[in-house]
Structure 1
Amino acid sequence: MPEKLVHLITAVRPNFMKIAPLSHALRREPWARAVLVHTGQHYDLNMSDVFFRDLGLSAPDHNLEVGSGPHGEQTGQVMARYERLLMEERPDVVVVPGDVNSTLGCTLAAVKMGVKVAHLEAGLRSFDRTMPEEINRVVTDAVADLLWTPSPDADENLAREGVPPERIERIGNIMIDSLEMLREVIEADGSRERLGLDERGYVLTTLHRPANVDDPAVLARICGGLCAIAHDTPVCFPVHPRTAARLDAAGLRGTLADCGVRLMEPLGYTSFMNLVFGAKLVLTDSGGVQGESTYLGIPCLTVRPRIEQSAAALRGANRLIDSAQVAAAVRDVLQRGMPRSSPPPLWDGCAAPRAVASLKRFLFPAEQAAAGTPRSKRTA
């Protein structure tokens, strides 16, 4: 088989956990040459470089150094810089993960130049077009050639939108591959012990979405809820750079510290997951953390009006709340608990091998046809 060049796009924390297992799996294939392209959308050390190190990823082959900026500017910068790279190095396929601006920017640059695109974590919908991520998801799925979905609801969303079934393949949640790949390292990390936290004795929170942190009134309500919780239960809060800036601007950092909320710098993957493993409850607005807590059976409260993963996919382990409900909802879960069930189908740590097999069928249709294997195979 001739060697095929595969560009793997990374940009932000969740992307790294999705791309790492696929990168490792592709590098074991003699027909694939995997090239890592980092757009630079996250440029803070603890939000980027640490994750590369934790996940065993080599330094990016290319860094577009886009940095932060408004949505249109950032997406445009990604398009322009990735297009220039494609002119110099044309891959056989581009793999774009998730739903961030880099996902859309790289997809548009590639399809305009006739380069095939595979979307990793396709088909998720919040049905809220006010969310920039929803626009990124819908447009990427509309023009990508191969759509890898994590759950049955994602398949159903794409079918409703008229996507041909041969473009859709369910591979499962690839972030679980990263978790299982590093489970022993995570469990041995020792972050809980260093912080003096008792297992199942604290609430872990993460916040970064504009709807929660950009409006000072909303952010103040959430902080008030965290303070109320901290009176009774330790609250650990690794602070995203965006959130840190908003807390400082609103004068809320001191308020949280004074009421006992443990503010800390962003953590690397293994340290953060060590805290997730031991948490009694997770309070978040992160899609990735929702999935990880669901898989681990840890109660999760999500401060969002709607999410892209359906309640059926998350199997009752996740509850949506608004910013005014933080304290009451946390106390309710701490007292009464939440339903626990088995992980969704194909959330088993084997999504990356399924993606590699799918990509091989996609890139070598003649060979697969000769072997009697269909080019695209839906996974039940």
Structure 2
Amino acid sequence: MKILTILGTRPEIIRLSRIIPALDQLCEHVVAHTGQNFDRKLSDIFFEELGVRKPDFFFNTRVDTLATQVGQILAETEQLLERVRPDRLLVLGDTNSALSAFIAKRMGIPVYHMEAGNRCYDDRVPEEVNRRVIDHCSDVLMPYTERSRVNLVREGIEGTRILVTGNPIYEVMQHYRPQVDASGVHRQLGVQAGEYVLATFHRAENVDIPDRLRAIVEGLRRTAATLGMPVVCSVHPRTRIRLQQYYLEPTDAKLILLEPLGFFDFVALEKDAHVVITDSGTVQEECCILGVPGITIRDTTERPETVECGSNALAGVDPANLVRLAKAGASARGWWTVPREYLEERVSATVVNIVLGYNNRAPTPIWTRTGQTAESAEQPAIQGAGGKAERAGKAGGTRGENPQEIAR
């Protein structure tokens, strides 16, 4: 069986970091990176840090406009599907990269969607539209929680196509715990455990609107002054560009702006922070698991279970509200009960078993319906430069080495 996994953002790489090697061992597994958030060089760094092999294909679709980026992702996905001819497509989350599910659906390729059913019910959030489109293009849906399963059922999706897997982030954090514990980031920054605030924000609805971005920067400045401790900011490239564009780069010495941190250093800072201020869905989950109070600078969240259990508070972007919650946050540290779906230890095995073994409602790919199997449709294998098998023609590429650029 041949499985194609398409991804394009750092959270996808992190969440799939235990699933990719498992699929590599059990089937013919092809990985494609859309380049949605960063170029190939930065992509390679993320894969190397997590010890995950490099993608087989790289789309290089990092562009400024939504229409151009989505159009390129869909066009190059179609080319790749024709070349690779997978039996199934695996996507995760609500990114533009996961919109590749649309093309696969139109081509009759079974789509398996991790992180299905997340909803914030706020269409001002760009990802909310993506979530509904991807879910309704998917054949087998793998939500993390029972709440997300119910969301899907309410939208008319048959229960036999929905399988709750649990959240993969706990398994990922447990696997990389030795590397996190070995991080020297506290010493490098000169900060002590519990004596700093960690912040990260990148969402379009926050950083692309000058008034909201200005309010966030002011809220961080007031938080640092009120708590008397530095605010360490891991700054996404998109955020840094907007800070410069809108002349909002902070000059306060207590606001420490860093280049994007690696996963190990970020989690090391996260687990020892006084509080964490974020608009990231993944960080909301991590704080809940780590017992660290989280403050979400959004009006809604697709992870409402974090608010209900008490690990997370919605602040919007009002500076006074942010300061109030930051002052109150530390007193609530770790007293909540983590949702059980957040503590699943073998999510990777569950997902792999579903992708390889569950096809209750999955269609047959178009190339096998016409009487030609995926295997027979491929070109003969030839020996590549290190003795590894490569496919003749443009579909080639040694696994983990020299990912192929999709020709445009």
TM-score by length of 1: 0.89
Residue 192 of structure 1 aligns to a residue whose secondary structure is: helix
Residue 12 of structure 2 aligns to a residue whose secondary structure is: helix
1:311-359: per-residue Cα shift (whole Å, max 9, x none)? 3686221111111122222122245657422343353231111111112
1:58-104: per-residue Cα shift (whole Å, max 9, x none)? 11100011112322221111000110111111111111111011111
Residue 163 of structure 2 aligns to a residue whose secondary structure is: strand
1:323 equivalent in alignment to 2:323:
no
CA 295–337 in structure 1, closer or farther in 2 if over 3 Å, else same: closer
- Select the residue among 335, 348, 358 that pairs with 2:344: 348
1:89 equivalent in alignment to 2:84:
yes
Equivalent runs, 1:194-273 vs 2, <5 Å? 194-231=188-225, 232-253=228-249, 256-273=250-267
Cα separation, 1, equivalents of 2:63 and 2:335: 39
- Select the residue among 17, 29, 32 that pairs with 1:20: 17
Residue 257 of structure 2 aligns to a residue whose secondary structure is: strand
Is the Cα–Cα contact under 8 Å of residues 125 and 205 in structure 2 kept in the other structure?
Answer: no
Cα separation, 1, equivalents of 2:347 and 2:302: 19
Shift of 1:270: 1.1
Q: Aligned partner of 1:328: which letter?
A: R
- Select the residue among 125, 133, 155 that pairs with 1:139: 133
Which shows bigger deviation, 256-265 or 335-344?
A: 335-344
Q: Please give the root-mean-square deviation of Cα atoms over the aligned residues, in Å.
A: 1.9
1:252-299: per-residue Cα shift (whole Å, max 9, x none)? 21xx23342011101111111111121121100000111111111111
Cα separation, 2, equivalents of 1:314 and 1:270: 28
Aligned length: 357
1:94-123: per-residue Cα shift (whole Å, max 9, x none)? 11111011111x101111111111001101
Cα separation, 2, equivalents of 1:346 and 1:233: 30
Equivalent position of 1:369 in the other structure: none
Cα separation, 1, equivalents of 2:252 and 2:285: 32
Cα separation, 1, equivalents of 2:303 and 2:90: 21
Cα separation, 1, equivalents of 2:342 and 2:349: 12
Is the Cα–Cα contact under 8 Å of residues 90 and 113 in structure 2 kept in the other structure?
Answer: yes
Equivalent position of 1:8 in the other structure: 5
Cα separation, 2, equivalents of 1:46 and 1:61: 14
Residue 251 of structure 2 aligns to a residue whose secondary structure is: helix
- Select the residue among 354, 359, 362 that pairs with 2:358: 362
Q: Aligned partner of 1:86: which letter?
A: L
Cα separation, 2, equivalents of 1:54 and 1:166: 38
Equivalent position of 2:53 in the other structure: 58
- Select the residue among 287, 292, 307 that pairs with 1:298: 292
Cα separation, 1, equivalents of 2:217 and 2:42: 23
Equivalent runs, 1:58-77 vs 2, <5 Å? 58-77=53-72
CA 70–277 in structure 1, closer or farther in 2 if over 3 Å, else same: same
Is the Cα–Cα contact under 8 Å of residues 152 and 313 in structure 1 kept in the other structure?
Answer: no
1:332 equivalent in alignment to 2:351:
no
Q: Which runs of 5+ in 2 are unaligned?
A: 362-408
CA 71–223 in structure 1, closer or farther in 2 if over 3 Å, else same: same
Is the Cα–Cα contact under 8 Å of residues 171 and 346 in structure 1 kept in the other structure?
Answer: no
Shift of 1:216: 1.5
Is the Cα–Cα contact under 8 Å of residues 34 and 73 in structure 2 kept in the other structure?
Answer: yes
Shift of 1:210: 1.6
Is the Cα–Cα contact under 8 Å of residues 4 and 86 in structure 2 kept in the other structure?
Answer: yes
Cα separation, 1, equivalents of 2:259 and 2:35: 20
Cα separation, 2, equivalents of 1:124 and 1:87: 30
Cα separation, 2, equivalents of 1:276 and 1:46: 26
Cα separation, 2, equivalents of 1:97 and 1:117: 10
Q: Which has the higher contact order (CA 8 A, sep 6+)?
A: 2
Percent sequence identity is: 34
Residue 260 of structure 2 aligns to a residue whose secondary structure is: coil
Cα separation, 1, equivalents of 2:240 and 2:169: 26
CA 199–332 in structure 1, closer or farther in 2 if over 3 Å, else same: same
Residue 172 of structure 2 aligns to a residue whose secondary structure is: helix
Equivalent position of 1:154 in the other structure: 148
Cα separation, 1, equivalents of 2:66 and 2:330: 38
